[in-house]
């Protein structure tokens, strides 16, 4: 399991933009995977949920959305 969260996003997504901006301000490190740039990555993300952002925490916990928003 990764030591930092893995976040599946879309390039154009208000919820994803909010997450990126918030986590940047807070200095939270994460690995971003943009599902609209790779069919393989999209297929993996769809195993978790059908909306973004999808946050996979280092402990394996999965969180869908950011602050009540999804994209």
Residue 1 has pLDDT above 70, yes or no: no
Contacts of 4 (CB under 8 A, 6+ apart): 29, 30, 31, 58
> Under a CB-based contact definition with an 8 Å cutoff, are residues 7 and 53 in contact?
yes
Instruction: Report the topology of domain 6-64.
Output: Glutaredoxin (3.40.30)
Q: What does the pLDDT read at residue 2? A: 73
Q: How far apart are CA 35 and CA 24, in angstroms?
A: 20
What integer pLDDT is reported at residue 46 of this predicted model?
A: 97
What are the structural domain ranges in the chain?
A: 6-64
pLDDT in tens, 22-70: 999 999 999 999 999 999 999 999 999 999 999 999 999 999 999 998 9
H helical segments located in 1-71: 14-26, 39-46
C-alpha gyration radius of the chain: 11
Residue in this structure with the two tokens 């393989």, named with its chain if needed: 40
**Whole-number pLDDT of residue 10:** 97
């Amino acid at each position: 399991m990764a030591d930092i969260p893995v976040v599946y996003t879309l390039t154009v997504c208000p919820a994803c933009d909010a997450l990126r901006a918030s986590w940047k301000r807070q200095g939270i490190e994460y690995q971003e995977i943009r599902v609209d740039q790779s069919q393989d990555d999209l297929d993996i993300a769809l195993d978790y949920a059908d909306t973004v952002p999808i946050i996979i925490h280092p402990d394996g916990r999965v969180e869908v959305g950011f602050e009540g928003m999804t994209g």
